[in-house]
Amino acid sequence: MKLIIPVFLLLIFCSELNAQQGSKIKLKNVSVSEIKLATIFLFGKEYTARQRNLLLKEILSSRFYDPNFKMEVNFQEFISNKKFNFIHKGPTEIIINSSKLSNRNLFVTYHGASDIETPNKEKINSFVEKVKAVYIDSSRKGILKSKELKKDILIINSEINQQSLNKKKKYFDSDSPFQKEIKLDRIDDYINKLERRKKRIEKKSNRIPLIQIKILTR
As a three-state string, the secondary structure of 113-132 is CCCCEEECHHHHHHHHCCCC
Dihedral pair phi/psi, residue 70, rounded to 5°:
-135, 135
pLDDT beyond 60 at 181: no
How far CA 149 is from CA of 66, 142, 173, 215, in Å, comes to 18, 11, 36, 29
* pLDDT at residue 121, as a whole number: 93
How much is the mean pLDDT over the chain? 80
Label residue 113 by pLDDT band (50, 70, 90).
low
Label residue 179 by pLDDT band (50, 70, 90).
low
pLDDT beyond 50 at 32: no
* pLDDT at residue 65, as a whole number: 94
Mean pLDDT (whole number) for 167-185? 60
pLDDT beyond 50 at 28: no
Mean pLDDT (whole number) for 187-198? 91
Q: Which position has the higher pLDDT, 91 or 164? A: 91
Label residue 20 by pLDDT band (50, 70, 90).
very low
Label residue 155 by pLDDT band (50, 70, 90).
very high
Say how far apart CA 61 and CA 58 lie, in whole Å.
5
pLDDT digits (tens, 9 = 90+) for 67-109: 999 999 888 876 677 888 899 999 999 999 999 999 989 998 8
pLDDT beyond 70 at 135: yes
Say how far apart CA 92 and CA 59 lie, in whole Å.
9
| Other beta carbons less than 10 A from residue 87's beta carbon | 8
